[in-house]
Amino acid sequence: MRLTIYWVTKDALSIRRIREKFNLSSYISINGETPAEIREEDLPLLRETEKRGFIQIRNK
């Protein structure tokens, strides 16, 4: 599933761990967004990460 991740947190360690868990690229746009290809089975965990305030999921 193609999504855009907006990074709410500025904590580098949290961002690194989220990237490793979901296999995200290290690219962040000027707007603080990262394009991502997320597997369907990882989507519930990604939604939980959003609820905890680390990211926002944007459908672009």
Domain residues of the chain, as ranges?
Answer: 2-58
CA dist 3 and 22 (Å) reads 12
What integer pLDDT is reported at residue 29 of this predicted model?
A: 95
| E strand intervals along 1-60 | 2-7, 33-37, 55-58
Average pLDDT of adjacent 10-residue blocks, the chain of 60 residues:
95 96 95 94 96 93
What integer pLDDT is reported at residue 60 of this predicted model?
A: 76
What integer pLDDT is reported at residue 24 of this predicted model?
A: 95
What integer pLDDT is reported at residue 36 of this predicted model?
A: 94
